[in-house]
Structure 1
Amino acid sequence: MARLSRRILPVVGASVVVALASLQPATATPPTVTSTTVSSSHSDNGRTCSPTRPPGSGWRLSWHDEFEGKALDRTKWNTVMDFPGRAGGHYHNENYGSYALEENIVLRHGRLHLITNDEPVVGDDPPGVYDYSEGFISSHDKFFQAYGYWQICARFPAGRGLWPAFWLVPQDRTWPPEFDVAEWFGGIDGMHQGIASGTWPDVRWDSHWTYDPAPTTGWHTYALLWEPGRAVFSIDGHVTATFEGSFVPDKPMYVVLNSGVWVNDDRGGPPDATTVFPNVFEVDYVRVYSRGDLPTGR
């Protein structure tokens, strides 16, 4: 793919023909993040969130990443999308304005940085011209599990149109279901946590919203306690929502982390002149626990 040397509106589609006055090759050097200060001092023995443990006893850590390396651990993560409804390996669907780039995935000071930028990109998977870029990683084929306790420590970017998220989708490549453990809409300072269930196109959404800029001003933990017929969402160990019933998913899922851009008019609308680019969705760790009495499906 290549970056445009001038700003244009996003155009998506395999049949698109775009006349470009000038193309510049995409660089492997990540953009400088000016909107977020990266601190070299950590708390909690190198961590940035107060430690929270799964509720109850009998839990063991089944998979995690502390992002302490110099580059993304490819034994744990993929950077190409592989779920129903995607338009290609690097672009989700028409709700997004962002194309996923490898260079937007950066590890620095023991943290994952998923960068969002507004330099237009000419993509090839699928072909098209995209106004924004994002960082995207998922654990499909690397790690998946049914049930358990799923948690990240993260700080979200502030700004209209920003749409970073921590979510789970099935390893068997069906949709729905989906868990949104921490889905941030910057234009409305809204954190969505919930479940998509049912059968396409009859999708059921069970949702909880928290409206507060706190996710952008500090580090917090976001977690899902997932048991048969029951899903409990929490922030910093405090329960925000509990859903119970047969609609709660029961199949193994994998982790998705990405820093997307929302382009629709609702939920705060697309980015505007007030949105600072580049910006970053920072993740200090992701940890998944299992419990002996819960099947994992692996």
Structure 2
Amino acid sequence: MRWTSLSAAGAVALLVSACSAAEAAAPLTRTPDGRALEVTFADEFDSFRPYRNGQGVWRTTFRDGRDDHDDDFNLRTLKWNKELQLYVDPEMRGHRGRHGDGDRDAREQALGLNPFRVKDGVLEITADRVPAQLADRLGGFGYTSGLITTQPSHSQTYGYFEMRAKLPRGKGVWPAFWLLPLDLSWPPEIDVMESVGDPGKVYVTLHSNAVKAEGTEIPVSPGDFHTYAVAWTRENVVWFVDGREVKRMATPADMHKPMYMLANIALGGDWAGAPDATTPFPARLQIDFIRAYRFAP
């Protein structure tokens, strides 16, 4: 994939615009370019609400949460990205293929892995090495991490979507905030924000069968909270960082259907590369809020 860079003037504006988590703004009434908005979804993370048994907000696996081949952990990693982590949650059980019938009780027992923690109104998603005592129950994966999606609880066609977050650093660490189609097709995909190892650089792009994807590299101040957003209409897709427009594209022909939001930390892959001895673990993505809006009449 080819990347372009933001202008020097835009970079300076972004570097000085960061603020602390305590200074988070109220939900918007207008986009940065003036369009009226109405809130359709907001989580300020005063608590974490996993989606279970038809209730809650956040699914912690991909797609619709059903898999007939859970021994392969198909819903807990993206193999075609060559990712090295499993997305875990407190209800996750071990790899059934590693146990005989005599280990049925162990097989049915949850592993006790929880990458999600809420503190002072901020959700922390943690990526870390697999605990040595659980290595034989996690299918050979070396890392655990967390994924949240609104696939069961919220989706919409067009709108303004934003996440305020502080990004982790380290080789092979790949946090993201993105949109996928509710009908579980791919593409399209909107990447509101991705970062690869360096929290001083983020990338914005989209994927489509109708147009060639070209991403843009945006410099930001590392170690600070920033707000990453996209405005998606029938005509255009426009990205913002801290209220400043950083990229604009015509909406592709295949991007006119409901989409839902995802946030996660991946590890490894062809783009990010594998973590190494310099990668600080645990790596934490800190999310102050995630919100969605529709354009008001």
Aligned partner of 2:42 among 23, 46, 64: 64
Alpha carbons of 1:274 and 1:175: their partners in 2 closer, same or farther (altered >3 Å)? same
- Pairing 1:84-99 to 2, within 5 Å after superposition: 88-94=74-80, 95-99=82-86
Give the deviation of 1:51 after TM superposition: 7.7
Provide structure 2 residue ranges, at least 5 long, that are not aligned to the other structure.
1-19, 65-71, 90-113
Residues 39-84 of structure 1: CA deviation (Å, up to 9, x unaligned): xx8533xx3x698652324311111100002x3353211112117x
Name the structure 2 match of 1:287. 291
Alpha carbons of 1:182 and 1:248: their partners in 2 closer, same or farther (altered >3 Å)? farther
Alpha carbons of 1:191 and 1:123: their partners in 2 closer, same or farther (altered >3 Å)? farther
Give the deviation of 1:87 after TM superposition: 6.2
Name the structure 2 match of 1:205. 213
| Distance in 2 of aligned mates of 1:145 and 1:90 | 24
Aligned partner of 2:275 among 261, 264, 271: 271
Structure 1 outlier segments of 4+, above 4 Å: 49-53, 120-124
In structure 2, the residue corresponding to 1:43 is in which secondary structure?
helix
The amino acid across from 2:289 in the alignment is: Y
When the two structures are superposed, what TM-score results if normalisation uses the length of structure 1?
Answer: 0.73
Alpha carbons of 1:170 and 1:191: their partners in 2 closer, same or farther (altered >3 Å)? same
Alpha carbons of 1:42 and 1:258: their partners in 2 closer, same or farther (altered >3 Å)? closer
Residue pair 2:50, 2:60 contacting (<8 A) in 1 also: no
| Distance in 2 of aligned mates of 1:156 and 1:237 | 18
When the two structures are superposed, what TM-score results if normalisation uses the length of structure 2?
Answer: 0.73
Residues 138-166 of structure 1: CA deviation (Å, up to 9, x unaligned): 00021001111100110000111100100
The amino acid across from 2:62 in the alignment is: M
1:251 matched to 2:229: no
Bigger share in helix = 2
Name the structure 2 match of 1:18. none
The amino acid across from 1:82 in the alignment is: R
Give the deviation of 1:209 after TM superposition: 1.6
Name the structure 2 match of 1:220. 226
| Distance in 1 of aligned mates of 2:127 and 2:295 | 36
Alpha carbons of 1:257 and 1:246: their partners in 2 closer, same or farther (altered >3 Å)? closer
Give the deviation of 1:213 after TM superposition: 5.9
Residue pair 1:229, 1:248 contacting (<8 A) in 2 also: no
Aligned partner of 1:79 among 56, 60, 64: 60
1:105 matched to 2:91: no
Identity in percent: 28
1:161 matched to 2:142: no
Provide structure 1 residue ranges, at least 5 long, that are not aligned to the other structure.
1-40, 294-298
